[in-house]
Structure 1
């Protein structure tokens, strides 16, 4: 490396916010090179990734707030749009390719950075212009260009394969890279874990602030605004990881409430349960936390019954999660624990194992137990070729975003829930095979209740799962916090 190159220390939003060291991305590039060598990548091959571009709002000249493409961010840590990155597999030498802007660009976007400034900002010595990409590749003479092409099993969408004018003149392999880089993103490095801890802690504090803000007469979006303001003002988190879900009353039974057709616009009423699912994002790294509690700050007996059933499922998984355990088995454990408590409450009846087999748990929790988390809130690597396939033997398990065996340094969410969804309850009560398990009168009493979800972000260590989320969780803790107590506990 050039001895005069003065590398910036990392990516940071300013005083009080976390410094993301450039070493994080350098480490990821080294991991990728090492993995590709074990997979017999062709000699003198080059990985080529294309970053994200500004996206216009329909046909206007306004763009959406930019967020970098996740694989590109993982490898290069570049926050600017319109870039490419390359890694020589034999040597690990990295190159970045930046846009070349006309001089008048400075009028609208500020002074145009020189190549040396890009080198310092991102810690990569070899900086070229995008327009020179073909010439640089001709000079490097790669035997193979490895590009990223594969399907995200969460979305069903394909990754963005790098392309440039002249790539057709090179030998391109788009089958080797995807599975390897996706698998590497599953287990986090120590530096990545530090970023995740930071964004989870900021999100936890923001949730705690909302818990003390919420009251009858306020709107759901006002609670959302408190969360967003805290994460940005205190944590430097310009993005959230997904659209905030601020469901109250019946809206708490809508799993992805908060979308454009229902934009967190309900006025909160007396007796409501709140289900607030919100997570900040810091330099691409995600958090994902759900807190459920009564707007009054004091649980009724029915609210306490459902909340504790979900909490028991959450804690059962948390105590059992460790390397070597199947995520699918943990989903079943959560479902079994939930059904046992619902049976004690007189909501369902019959043999719990038979209920599991017939899909009763999926009526109350139609989603999976949780998901991998990292640079995407539903992180990649859930169903790669060498991992367990999507299970189908029990209804509800087929909704899992991964069925992998847990490994050290995975970060996942544990998010069991219990919802009273009219559509699913109506179907179950009309189905002779399902209706026998339900106490219809009791079920109907809970119509309009909404739902409860308790979602924690956890790190898998060699000794088990460590909960990184810092919010009140038991009924007693929630009631004390909402009453203005326990300030020194979190």
Structure 2
């Protein structure tokens, strides 16, 4: 057995244990998972890019396989109903192969409806979108079962961590190419294309749409375009871009200055605080505390840079840091970029966010095997700054400095960090170090 086969076998064994417990908790005898179906554009015959049900790819490393199903009964070998049409209009899926196939009873389907004959009946938990339904097989998505599975998915297996480290290395190749393109004066679109070429991704199989922001576009948190125009004067570049390996995503952000000066110093200061926060990803740490600590540290950066003349604690309590850092510190990541159950316990009960921090995606306590992003930022967002300028704390702000920084957009630094029994593992920094 190869090392990868062994890792996968251990992963599948734990997945069965978790499924057994979730089925018992929810009162079901069988688990059935739909990969999903292709969806077509309105009044057209062009499909949208297919993205599989994350529960499906948790079991098998298959990405482009609509109309397939997994059926699991505790104590039995799981069934994979694998859709492989006899098609000459498109390239059909290849026969199943790889380190995982020996663990499944594989049934080949020529028509989507054929799957129904291979799926169990009775007390069945069926996980999938409504449009995946077949005759007698209708997704019911039991909440009790999903809450349990989603919560446990926060703790990654050794197999999953291996996939995620590989996704980091794939993305870092793109980040290196993107920085080089920026330094050469490329447009956002040209930088994006350089990223795709270096990672081997296409636009449709990225884990999320790349954020490629030059100058003031770096202040748009989810900037969704890639301008083909080269800026007359490049000042700054923010890239938030990931990659995927066997269904597992990476999510990395870096910010660069075109020249030395105050903005480059701001990037360095945020980077220092980001690395310190990464070091706080420890067993038992409450992620909410990390988020509030981030605000205090960014308040110190603002004060040290002379941008805001206030005590950092007062900046946090008065909401001033939230003007410059309006999002949360980070989120769980794995099969999905914003992975599930970041703010819920195993019974689906919400773990509340701190008052005044409505966008924080993670409120759980950290434990070994959890992977979270740590992504502090400082931005100069005109609509938020206008509200600050009209409020009672305006006098504490050096508006000349703000005006000088606004054309640069903002700073965000993002790594993925694994919580362990001891020191955290920063898989993003490791990947950058390997590529140096």
Q: Normalising to structure 1: TM-score of the pair?
A: 0.79
The alignment partner of 2:424 has SS state of strand
Aligned residues of 1:249 and 1:450 also touching (Cα < 8 A):
yes
Aligned residues of 1:46 and 1:87 also touching (Cα < 8 A):
yes
The alignment partner of 2:310 has SS state of coil
The separation in 1 between residues aligned to 2:100 and 2:297, in whole angstroms, is 53
2:252 aligned partner: 289
Aligned residues of 1:383 and 1:389 also touching (Cα < 8 A):
yes
Q: Of the two, which has the highest radius of gyration?
A: 1
What's the offset of the Cα at 1:269? 4.1
1:345 aligned to 2:305? yes
The alignment partner of 2:361 has SS state of coil
1:457 aligned to 2:419? no
What's the offset of the Cα at 1:97? 2.4
Q: How many residues align?
A: 431
The alignment partner of 1:274 has SS state of strand
Q: For structure 2, which runs of at least 5 residues remain unmatched after alignment?
A: none
The separation in 2 between residues aligned to 1:267 and 1:173, in whole angstroms, is 48
The separation in 2 between residues aligned to 1:58 and 1:317, in whole angstroms, is 46
What's the offset of the Cα at 1:402? 1.3
The separation in 1 between residues aligned to 2:317 and 2:171, in whole angstroms, is 37
What CA deviation, in whole Å up to 9, does each residue of 1:266-312 have, x standing for no partner?
Answer: 414435111011111122110111111123xx421x11332133113
What CA deviation, in whole Å up to 9, does each residue of 1:396-437 have, x standing for no partner?
Answer: x321111110111111111100110111001111012x3243
Change (3 A) 1:404 1:119: closer
2:235 aligned partner: 272
1:94 aligned partner: 78
The alignment partner of 1:146 has SS state of strand
The separation in 2 between residues aligned to 1:374 and 1:67, in whole angstroms, is 15
Q: From 185, 210, 216, give the equivalent of 1:250.
A: 216
2:205 aligned partner: 239
Change (3 A) 1:355 1:56: same
1:414 aligned to 2:374? yes
The separation in 1 between residues aligned to 2:200 and 2:344, in whole angstroms, is 35
What's the offset of the Cα at 1:213? 2.7
1:67 aligned to 2:29? no
Change (3 A) 1:217 1:286: same
The separation in 2 between residues aligned to 1:112 and 1:422, in whole angstroms, is 49
2:68 aligned partner: 83
Q: For structure 1, which runs of at least 5 residues remain unmatched after alignment?
A: 1-6, 11-17, 150-158, 474-486
Aligned residues of 1:350 and 1:437 also touching (Cα < 8 A):
yes
2:280 aligned partner: 320
Q: Normalising to structure 2: TM-score of the pair?
A: 0.88
The alignment partner of 1:77 has SS state of coil
The separation in 2 between residues aligned to 1:146 and 1:462, in whole angstroms, is 34
Q: From 177, 189, 195, give the equivalent of 1:209.
A: 177
The separation in 1 between residues aligned to 2:186 and 2:141, in whole angstroms, is 55
Aligned residues of 1:208 and 1:471 also touching (Cα < 8 A):
no
Aligned residues of 1:119 and 1:125 also touching (Cα < 8 A):
no
The alignment partner of 2:143 has SS state of coil
The separation in 2 between residues aligned to 1:220 and 1:54, in whole angstroms, is 31
What CA deviation, in whole Å up to 9, does each residue of 1:433-457 have, x standing for no partner?
Answer: x324322232223222211111111
The alignment partner of 2:127 has SS state of coil
Change (3 A) 1:226 1:166: same
The separation in 1 between residues aligned to 2:78 and 2:434, in whole angstroms, is 47
Q: From 259, 263, 267, give the equivalent of 2:226.
A: 263
The separation in 2 between residues aligned to 1:87 and 1:53, in whole angstroms, is 20
1:445 aligned to 2:404? yes
The separation in 1 between residues aligned to 2:165 and 2:103, in whole angstroms, is 24
The separation in 2 between residues aligned to 1:442 and 1:33, in whole angstroms, is 55
What's the offset of the Cα at 1:26? 2.7
Q: From 193, 206, 217, give the equivalent of 1:225.
A: 193
The separation in 1 between residues aligned to 2:177 and 2:97, in whole angstroms, is 39
Show the 5 A alignment for 1:1-20: none
2:145 aligned partner: 177
1:131 aligned to 2:101? no
